[in-house]
């Protein structure tokens, strides 16, 4: 495997929200080879990851007083560095999935698709025990709150074509090619 020069930066935003009688929420940004990843944390547990097309300079300008990244976010940053180098195929970052029981079962099954491989929506439907639910699998994938860690990019159309990805098809292609090359 070829070593690539890779540096992933964390931009921690002091968007810390404390809701009475609830948990502390933080938003932290990670600069990655596929763009900015906006991560949402509740008590050091990742509950959402979004793709952002904003440049780092805009994010930097929007932050009044940058805070320090949490230990959990630093761990995720390290895992993502290893993933983008092709050296990590399973994440250990603490996550919590928020969705329906069906959605959660789909997202959990995504982690069973081997690194560097793909499955069709129909195959994932069979994996969750509902072979006629290919469309519902697509809807669940569309609502996946933690892409990359719950790898919805590994799900493709029945004809082998790349279809739909919340982060855009360019990112899906990048992730699939990265995994294929690292195998």
Give the active site residues. Answer: 152
Burial (CB < 10 A; 0-12, 13-18, 19+), residue 92, is: exposed
């Amino acid at each position: 495997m070829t070593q690539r020069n890779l540096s992933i930066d964390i931009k921690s935003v002091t968007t810390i929200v404390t809701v009475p009688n609830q948990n502390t929420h933080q938003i932290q940004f990670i600069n990655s080879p596929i763009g900015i990843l906006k991560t949402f944390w509740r008590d050091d547990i990742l509950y959402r990851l979004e793709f952002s097309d904003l440049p780092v300079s805009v994010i930097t300008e929007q932050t009044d007083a940058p805070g320090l990244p949490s230990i959990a976010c630093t761990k995720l940053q390290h895992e993502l560095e290893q993933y983008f180098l092709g050296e990590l195929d399973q994440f250990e970052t603490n996550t919590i999935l928020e969705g329906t029981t069906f959605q959660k079962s789909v997202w959990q099954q995504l982690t069973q698709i081997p690194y560097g491989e793909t499955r069709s929506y129909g195959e994932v439907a069979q994996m969750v025990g509902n072979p006629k639910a290919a469309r519902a699998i697509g809807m669940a994938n569309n609502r996946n709150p933690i892409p990359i860690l719950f790898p919805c990019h590994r799900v493709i159309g029945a004809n082998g074509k790349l279809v739909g990805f919340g982060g855009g098809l360019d990112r899906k292609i990048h992730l699939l090619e990265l995994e294929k090359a690292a195998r």
